Amino acid sequence: MAAEQNSIHGLWRNRWLFILAATGSAVGLGNIWKFPYITGENGGGAFVLVYLFCICLIGLPVMLAEVMLGRMGRQSPINTMTAIAKDAGANRLWSGIGWMGAVAGFLILSFYSVIAGWALAYIFRMAGGMFEGASAEVASTTFGNLVGNPEVLLAWHTIFMVITIAVVARGVNQGLEKAIRILMPMLFVLLFLLLGYALSSDGFSQGFSFLFSFDFSKLTGESIVVALGHAFFTLSLGLGAIMAYGAYMPSDVSIGKTVVLVGILDTLVALAAGLAIFPIVFANGMEPGAGPGLLFQTLPIAFGQMPAGTLFGTLFFVLITFAAWSSSISLAEPIVAWAVESKGMSRAHAATWVGVAAWVLGIGTVLSFNLWSDYKVFDKTLFDLLDFLTTNILLPLGGLFIALFVGWVMHKSDVAAEVRMSNPTLYKAWMIVLKFIAPVAVAVVLINGLL
């Protein structure tokens, strides 16, 4: 662009705060349960190798492009894409990348807050000894009573949305930065404690084998698509969150090296979560199921039957809540930043309006689990519909368009000046990935998600 500008929202004080913030955005509810499970189901160590290959070949190059766009524009994703598209002499429809990401983040925030509210509720249920010696029936009934009660579910949804917006309302330095300084170190400490607890359990060797044994017979074409899809989604690409965080990155920080560190940290957290969860599951002779059932029905039984299980079970749900909290503030940031820039709102005013709107939409997700569970569109509840629309359509499309825009539309001199790669061969390889490899790969993920 013609001249560098500074973000009106402020800048991260140093490189490591961006790394922690981006990692916090990437590490969420899905990372804690989904990655370990799909790893075990798709060949363990063999799947990890494929996943790491996808992270390096597709995920990190697209993430680098998204961070670069954010830092170049120094605004919300919506205004950043509008300005850069205009500067490149491109069709103004390319600014839709920013809108797509901001809308996707807003929609996800609306239902993410409801699911995160479950984890928040379980902190108190676990701490209160509700699962000490509990049977499978008790665990199932407890979970059913939570999601089946719209008033209780709404209360936890409200609490989680309030603590999310309270952080975003205070801005980059006083809000996001301070929260990240606390949340991410605590997340790492809790994960380390739970990992140590799992290491002492009888099921550690079985859990380790479940995750890391090389079973190439389970590695299929579908496994590769799953690895590619998760590599893309786990880095929070196409949401606008990484572009917004990139806008606050200091100019003297290397984008390439920083993005690589985020990818490494995100993967390590996912693997550590698997090593913390599955030994506990196997030590109690339980089947490692996927999704909410694992977190809210299987694991509470396991913790309830183990020595000091109440303490470590409580810590586990604190960990889940922290992971969800760090992700949710990144989901709200793009649309809040846009409201401040374009509507002249104060930070607190914009965050409040976004929070209230997401909270109202989230009521539909609350009711999807109880009163509206029988009302479906295309055989999906409102929650399922929002999840499908964002995960399978908006996110892949956002990543696809980012790769195409940077690879084919932007002035190469602008890209090179912002990225500042010292190795010309590496730069050429990155551009080849953005132009040819990433669009095809993301299109495969998109088509697979739709089918």
Token output for 139:
């665990």
Q: Are 402 and 410 in contact (CB under 8 A)?
A: no
Q: Check: CB of residue 231 under 8 Å from CB of residue 58.
A: yes
Output the six-digit token pair for 449: 């998600």
Q: Which two tokens stand for residue 416?
A: 């090179």
Token readout for 33 is 């349960």
Q: Which has the closest alpha carbon to 299: 288, 18, 367? A: 288
Between vectors from CA 68 to CA 401 and to CA 258, what angle results, nearest 5°?
Answer: 120
Please report how many Cα atoms fall inside a 13 Å half-sphere around the Cα of residue 197, on the Cβ side. Answer: 26
What pLDDT sits at residue 448?
81
At 156, list the tokens. Answer: 């936890």
pLDDT in tens, 344-400: 999 999 999 999 999 999 999 999 999 999 999 889 999 999 998 998 889 889 999
DSSP designation for 288: -
Helices 255-283 and 177-199, packing angle to 10 deg: 40
pLDDT in the model for residue 289? 58
The more confident residue out of 38 and 21 is 21
Each residue's pLDDT tens digit, 188-221: 999 999 899 888 888 899 889 888 888 888 888 8
SS3 105: helix
DSSP letter, residue 269? H
* Helix axes of 255-283 and 412-419: crossing angle, nearest 10 degrees: 70
Residue 343 has pLDDT above 90, yes or no: yes
Which of the four pLDDT bands, split at 50, 70 and 90, describes residue 2?
Answer: very low
Write the CA distances from 185 to 28, 188, 253, 261, 330, integer angstroms.
15, 5, 22, 16, 17
> Which domains can be identified in the chain, with CATH numbers?
15-450 (1.20.1740)
Model pLDDT for residues 105-142, shown as the tens digit of each residue: 999 999 999 999 999 999 999 999 999 988 888 888 99
Confidence of residue 3 (pLDDT cuts 50, 70, 90): very low
Higher pLDDT, 282 or 173: 173
Q: Which residue has the tokens 């629309």?
A: 389
Q: What CA–CA distances, in Å, run from 278 to 196, 220, 322, 349?
A: 13, 23, 20, 43
d(CA 313, CA 305): 11
- Candidates 237, 244, 243, 245; CA nearest to 398 is 237
Contact 305, 322 (CB under 8 A): no
Distance from C-alpha of 230 to C-alpha of 236, rounded to nearest angstrom: 10
10-19 average pLDDT score = 92
Q: Quickly tell me which residue has 């309302």 as its tokens.
A: 169
Residue 277 pLDDT class (50, 70, 90 cuts): confident
Beta bridge partners of 423: none
Q: Is 377 helix (H, G, I), strand (E, B) or coil?
A: strand
CB atoms within 10 A of CB 422: 8
According to the model, what pLDDT value does residue 117 have? 96
